[in-house]
Structure 1
Amino acid sequence: MTEEMTTEVAVGLAARGWAVMPLSGKGPVRSCRACRQDQHHGAVCRCPQQWCHGFYGSSANPSVVEAQWPHDADGVGIATGKSNLVVVDVDGPTGHEWVTRLAHRQVLTPTLMMRSASGGGYHLYYEGTLRSRQLRVTPTHPLSGSRDDAPIDIKSVGSYVRWTGIVAVDRPIASVSTALADELDSRQRRLDSAGRRPVPTFQLRPNESGRCVHAPGYLDRGVQMAVETIARINPSGGGVHAQVYGALRGIIRRHAETCGRDCVTRQQLDALSEAAGRLGERPVDFQRAWDNALTESGLPSRFATRTSR
């Protein structure tokens, strides 16, 4: 879309009370250089530039949108959580099967349907809020390929969706049902239960020295690389917790397989937690992610948190 077209669309959506943000390609327009270098969290940003930090800088004020819309934007994003929207992003036949099953049970009710930009899927718009999440699971998960593994994204709090403007089914936007939240929570419990593998006896025994068996500096380098990986996460794109979890899991797996123990020191763990905290990750969620990664590798919990991702 041209600048004039995106501005007109963005103003129209803001007039509906939806918080909009400029997109460049599939992602948000980049934050200003000062904010990128400072790496502070978008929720606490006080930058005078309107569009810093993606959905954190979105606006539902038509006047602001019209006056400050950037010339290099080629798309319009809707900050779903700030707009009191839940968007079910459906991709392909497998995603459609998942939607159809839930529609037959009236978990998903008729509502506005928009075509995706690619044309291979669609977006269902609901009023309300939910926790954003992806319903795809990793290929190594026990439930990979099952009904609980679907090319579906739930976009609401802390997320955004690209407005395509291509109406598939024009209906009033329905309220999201509590049954959908219950369905997603039940699915998560099944995933967590299936992911708890029996703990091999040898993995619970530390190596004979009781210390990390790697060369000096190996653990420090691994932790530093993980800190840098976490620091590069773009919080505007959502999925921060899952990306932090992936970085932590990489460290733990390497040491679980060779040392048979959690080798990371308290100081190193604090550095990882601080990096995640800059992205808005709460300490309790960080600790839960660490314990989940330990459990997945057959190691004892460090913080004794409830296993739930």
Structure 2
Amino acid sequence: MTHDARHVLLRAALDAAERGWHVFPLRPHTKRPALHGESACPRTGPCATGHRKWEQRATTDPDLIRATWARAPYNVGIATGPSGLVVVDLDMPKGKGSSDAPSGATTFAALCERTGQPVPTTRRTRTASGGEHLYFTAPAGA
């Protein structure tokens, strides 16, 4: 991975944190957390009082983000709960069933039409499989 690609990933993590979204590193080219699991927990640093899972270790601290992304070209994970987000995952058909299975976007659009609601305008990201994630602010208290 080039230095430019690493910079793009770091910038994406910092941009998300600037929005108040808690980020954590994902293993390069995957969507698996790049943080230690419970069995490998050193019980130091953030885990000094006991193992903390990836969502608990997600951060908006730009210094910590810079230090973490300097080590590897991590993908960017968003901890939706701490970030106050609800994300709708619009998957593509997996090819295991009917070849005419609708995409998640098609199904979501049909649901919106049936309920008399427009398809919401919101932040969207493309997924590796060609689907989309739609980002919404969670209702207060949720």
When normalised by structure 1's length, the TM-score is 0.34
The residue aligned with 2:33 is: 28
Q: 1:5 to 1:110 in 2, by over 3 A?
A: closer
The residue aligned with 1:100 is: 109
Q: Tell me, in whole angstroms, the C-alpha distance in 1 between the residues paired with 2:40 and 2:64.
A: 26
Q: Tell me, in whole angstroms, the C-alpha distance in 2 between the residues paired with 1:71 and 1:129.
A: 36
Aligned residues: 120
Over the matched positions of the two proteins, sequence identity in percent amounts to 34
CA contact (8 A) 1:23 1:73 kept: no
Q: Tell me, in whole angstroms, the C-alpha distance in 2 between the residues paired with 1:26 and 1:102.
A: 28
- Name whichever structure is richer in helix by fraction: 1
Q: Tell me, in whole angstroms, the C-alpha distance in 1 between the residues paired with 2:17 and 2:46.
A: 22
Bigger Rg, which one = 1
1:3 Cα offset (Å): 3.3
The residue aligned with 1:87 is: 87
Q: 1:7 to 1:113 in 2, by over 3 A?
A: closer
Partner letter of residue 27 of structure 1? R
- Residue segments in structure 1 that go unaligned for 5+ positions in a row: 131-156, 158-309
Q: Tell me, in whole angstroms, the C-alpha distance in 1 between the residues paired with 2:103 and 2:8.
A: 33
Q: Tell me, in whole angstroms, the C-alpha distance in 1 between the residues paired with 2:54 and 2:109.
A: 32
Q: Tell me, in whole angstroms, the C-alpha distance in 2 between the residues paired with 1:15 and 1:27.
A: 23
- Name whichever structure is richer in strand by fraction: 2
1:114 Cα offset (Å): 2.0
* 1:205-246 deviation line (CA, Å, top 9, x unaligned): xxxxxxxxxxxxxxxxxxxxxxxxxxxxxxxxxxxxxxxxxx
Relative contact order, higher structure (CA 8 A, sep 6+): 2
Does structure 1 residue 111 correspond to structure 2 residue 116? no
1:65 Cα offset (Å): 1.4
Q: 1:75 to 1:129 in 2, by over 3 A?
A: farther
The residue aligned with 2:136 is: 126
Give the secondary-structure state (helix, strand or coil) at the position aligned to 1:109: coil
Partner letter of residue 135 of structure 2? Y
Q: Tell me, in whole angstroms, the C-alpha distance in 1 between the residues paired with 2:111 and 2:127.
A: 20
CA contact (8 A) 2:46 2:57 kept: no
1:26 Cα offset (Å): 1.7
Q: 1:63 to 1:46 in 2, by over 3 A?
A: closer
- Residue segments in structure 2 that go unaligned for 5+ positions in a row: 93-101
CA contact (8 A) 1:28 1:54 kept: yes
Give the secondary-structure state (helix, strand or coil) at the position aligned to 1:30: coil
Does structure 1 residue 5 correspond to structure 2 residue 8? yes
Partner letter of residue 98 of structure 1? T
* 1:142-169 deviation line (CA, Å, top 9, x unaligned): xxxxxxxxxxxxxxx8xxxxxxxxxxxx
Partner letter of residue 22 of structure 2? A
CA contact (8 A) 2:17 2:62 kept: yes
Partner letter of residue 138 of structure 2? G
When normalised by structure 2's length, the TM-score is 0.68
Partner letter of residue 28 of structure 1? P
Give the secondary-structure state (helix, strand or coil) at the position aligned to 1:20: strand
